[in-house]
Amino acid sequence: MTEIYLQMRKGAAHENIEDSALLSFDGNFKIRNIECREHFNCKNPMLFAVADGVGGLKGGDQASTFVLNSLKERAIKALENNFETEAEIENIVLNNTPIDAERFEQVGDILLKSLNKELLDYSSSMGEFKSMATTLTSLVFKGDGYGLIHTGNTRISSLNGVFLRQLTHDHTNYQNLLDMGQFDAADNCSRNIISSCLGSGSIT
């Protein structure tokens, strides 16, 4: 049995919550995009996802909710299907059908591109909201294993004893400069500017 704690709060400078969270366990799917504080007990397989609407662009709250609803539909179908080859799964993901939890990480890039295209298609006719964008970080547990997909700067970490180990890699200009060894430039740049997301005309 796994305990899940979920808390969502509106930022002081925001009129509404631009983030959304998806939890899937015991055949139930819950999406939250309002202020809340909740506790769940569940068994795996479990899917968790957080989409953080990109600030500074209109429609971040809509983008995050849209992407998680799309991911939810895939996850529902995945509960009823198993696929044995990567090529088979790639074809299914591209055609907006199941994710298999055991292959989740293998097809992460394809899944992100598919979700990105859906969001771009959705927002293209929405006028001032056509640049809406969101990050996405998702984790699936099944048995003793897990898989994750990730774009943006929302972090997944693992607590091992007293040590916290970050499992995701930040997609930010700051992290990119660190990766290139440009430490002085990194110290003088904004740490909040992301280099990858879904939507806003970007191809993940």
Examine residue 39 and state whether it is found in any structural domain, yes or no. Answer: yes
Examine residue 143 and state whether it is found in any structural domain, yes or no. Answer: yes
Cα(141)–Cα(161) distance, integer angstroms = 20
Residues 6+ apart with CB under 8 A from 2: 25, 41, 42, 43, 44, 46, 141
Cα(136)–Cα(53) distance, integer angstroms = 9
Cα(29)–Cα(27) distance, integer angstroms = 7
Q: What percent of the chain clears pLDDT 90, i.e. is strictly above it?
A: 17
Domain hosting residue 139, numbered range: 2-152
Examine residue 203 and state whether it is found in any structural domain, yes or no. Answer: no
Question: What pLDDT, in 10s, does the model give residues 160-179?
Answer: 888 999 988 899 889 889 88
Is the pLDDT score of 76 beyond 80? no
Examine residue 54 and state whether it is found in any structural domain, yes or no. Answer: yes
Per the CB < 8 A criterion, the answer to whether 86 and 107 are in contact is yes
Q: DSSP state, 102?
A: G
Per the CB < 8 A criterion, the answer to whether 133 and 151 are in contact is no
Average pLDDT score, the chain = 79
Examine residue 182 and state whether it is found in any structural domain, yes or no. Answer: no
If one counts the domains in the chain, the total is 1
CA atoms within 13 A on the CB side of 157: 12
**Average of per-residue pLDDT across 133-141:** 88
Examine residue 102 and state whether it is found in any structural domain, yes or no. Answer: yes
Closest C-alpha among 12, 66, 5 to residue 36: 5
Residue with the bigger pLDDT between 189 and 203: it is 189
- Alpha carbon 151 to chain centroid, angstroms: 7
Question: What pLDDT, in 10s, does the model give residues 20-55?
Answer: 999 887 777 888 888 888 888 877 667 889 999 887
Q: How confident is the model at residue 143 (pLDDT cuts 50, 70, 90)?
A: low
Name residue, tokens 């056509």.
130
Enter the tokens of residue 135.
């990050």
Examine residue 136 and state whether it is found in any structural domain, yes or no. Answer: yes
Question: What pLDDT, in 10s, does the model give residues 149-158?
Answer: 899 999 988 8
Burial classification of residue 71, based on how many CB atoms lie within 10 Å of its CB (0-12 exposed, 13-18 middle, 19 or more buried): buried
Provide the CATH number for the domain around residue 125.
3.60.40.10
Examine residue 171 and state whether it is found in any structural domain, yes or no. Answer: no
Name residue, tokens 């202020």.
35
